Amino acid sequence: MPQVPSNAIDPLSGVITEAQFQETVVDAAELFGWWVFHDNDSRRNRAGFPDLVLIRPPRVVFLELKREKGRVSPVQAEVLGMLDGCDTVETHVARPSQWSDVCRWLS
């Protein structure tokens, strides 16, 4: 089973931050040929929009990334639920422990 790359793990704490995990996911997605969108300053956006939008026709994936113990907020769950109700998109919530799933989703 693939493990999260060691460069995503903070050498002092041994913890994978959401930002480190996101960078690793973006790198992997681009290697798999996905076009990746992430709003670097989401403070002015409506709350709940997923962290990443990945496009590689015919697939569109909305990906919410969380630290291992991070929680999906109620508004994030609502938006993911609406997106999940669409026939032509995929939605996932991913944590570092799900790295093998992320690799499967991207391949």
Residue-wise pLDDT for 72-106, tens only, equals 999 999 999 999 999 999 999 999 999 999 999 99
At residue 3, does pLDDT exceed 70? no
Residue 39 to residue 2: CA distance in whole angstroms: 28
Average pLDDT (54-76) is: 95
Residue-wise pLDDT for 30-51, tens only, equals 999 999 999 988 788 889 999 9
Sign of the four-CA dihedral 23, 90, 85, 58: positive
Is the distance from CB of 47 to CB of 80 less than 8 angstroms?
no
For residue 13, the model assigns a pLDDT of 62
In this prediction the pTM is: 0.85
Q: Which domains does the chain have, with CATH numbers?
A: 6-106 (3.40.1350.10)
For residue 103, the model assigns a pLDDT of 94
Neighbours of 101 (CB within 10 A): 14
Report residue 90 as tokens: 């995929």
